[in-house]
Amino acid sequence: MKTKLTLSLDSSIIQLAKELAKQRDISLSQMISDYIEEQKKVSDKLEALHKFGNDIPEMSMVAEEGEKIKSLNLKYGLDS
What is the pLDDT of the chain when averaged over all its residues?
Answer: 82
* 23 occurs within a structural domain: no
Average pLDDT for 41-54: 78
Question: pTM higher than 0.75 for the full model?
Answer: no
What is the total count of domains within the chain?
1
Q: How far apart are CA 5 and CA 74, in angstroms?
A: 20
* 10 occurs within a structural domain: no
* 21 occurs within a structural domain: no
Given this model, what pLDDT does residue 60 score?
60
* 8 occurs within a structural domain: no
Q: Of 32, 1, 2, nearest to 14 (Cα)?
A: 32
* 2 occurs within a structural domain: no
Average pLDDT for 57-75: 69
- Distance between alpha carbon 68 and the CA centroid of its chain, in Å? 11
Question: 75: domain range?
Answer: 28-80
Given this model, what pLDDT does residue 58 score?
61
